[in-house]
């Protein structure tokens, strides 16, 4: 009986959110503090999200490139990144993730060229703490 309850609790703790379709753009950290209170290198896999995205600081998100960049470079590439910053809601709709340069380049085989955005599918894997308001 104890094993069954433990297994149920472990299953609930690792549940991921349903995938969402959206857009990814990129930003430069430039040695500045992110909304979540840390300075991170541009090479780290980071996310700035809209306060309406339903994610919180510290959550990890799986992101897959589903197309739309120059020559669709990197279609199918997938990364895991961490929410560390806030993207103003007037710039980012709820399914738009603004990624660090490192994360964006990993999805696009190193490209930052215009249009500077790709279509993505993303889902929250876990973690989290303080909300992005």
Secondary structure E strands in the chain? 20-27, 46-49, 60-67, 78-86, 96-100, 118-126
Confidence of residue 9 (pLDDT cuts 50, 70, 90): very low
Beta-carbon contacts of 78 under 8 Å, excluding residues fewer than 6 positions away, are 62, 63, 64, 65, 107
Q: For residues 100 and 122, what is the distance between their CA atoms, to the nearest angstrom?
A: 15
Mean pLDDT of 62-72: 86
> For residue range 79-106, what is the model confidence (pLDDT) as tens digits?
999 999 999 888 899 999 999 999 999 9
Rounded to the nearest 10°, the torsion over CA 92, 94, 99, 105 is: -100
What HEC string does 55-84 produce? CECCCEEEEEEEECCHHHCCCCCEEEEEEE
Among 75, 42, 47, 76, smallest CA distance to 61 is for 47
Say yes or no to pLDDT of 119 above 90.
Answer: yes
User: What is the pLDDT, as a whole number, of residue 17?
Assistant: 61
């Amino acid at each position: 009986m104890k094993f069954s309850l433990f297994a149920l609790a472990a299953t609930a703790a690792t549940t991921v959110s349903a995938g969402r379709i959206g857009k990814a753009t990129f930003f430069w950290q430039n040695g500045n503090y992110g909304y979540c209170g840390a300075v991170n290198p541009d090479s780290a896999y980071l996310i700035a999200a809209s306060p309406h995205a339903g994610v919180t600081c510290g959550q990890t998100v799986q992101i897959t490139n589903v197309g739309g960049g120059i020559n669709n470079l990197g279609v199918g590439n997938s990364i895991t990144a961490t929410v560390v910053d806030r993207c103003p809601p007037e710039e980012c709709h709820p399914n738009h993730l603004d990624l660090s340069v490192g994360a964006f380049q990993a999805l696009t085989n190193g490209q930052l060229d215009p249009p500077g955005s790709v279509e993505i599918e993303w889902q929250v894997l876990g973690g989290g703490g303080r909300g992005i308001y």
